Amino acid sequence: MMSQIIPQTLRNSRQPFVALSGPSFALELMNNLPTAMVVASKDKKLANAVQQLLASRNLRISTTSDVTGVEIAGALKKRCSEIRWLSTKMGAKSTTISGLSGMGDIMLTCFVSLSRNRTVGVRLGSGETLDDILCSMNQVAEGVATAGAVIGLAQKYNVKMPVLTAVAHIIDNELTPQKAVFELMNLPQVYLYINK
Residues 6+ apart with CB under 8 A from 9: none
**Cβ(87)–Cβ(69) below 8 Å:** yes
**Residues 128, 51: Cα–Cα separation, whole Å:** 41
Please count the other Cβ atoms lying within 10 Å of the Cβ belonging to residue 160.
11
Q: What is the side-by-side strand order in the sheet with 19-21?
A: 19-21, 35-40, 59-64
Return left, alpha or beta for 139; rule: phi > 0 is left, psi -120 to 50 is alpha, else beta. Answer: beta
Beta strands at 35-40 and 19-21: parallel, antiparallel or unpaired:
antiparallel
Q: Which residues are catalytic?
A: 77
With contact defined as beta carbons under 8 Å apart, do 50 and 41 qualify? Answer: yes
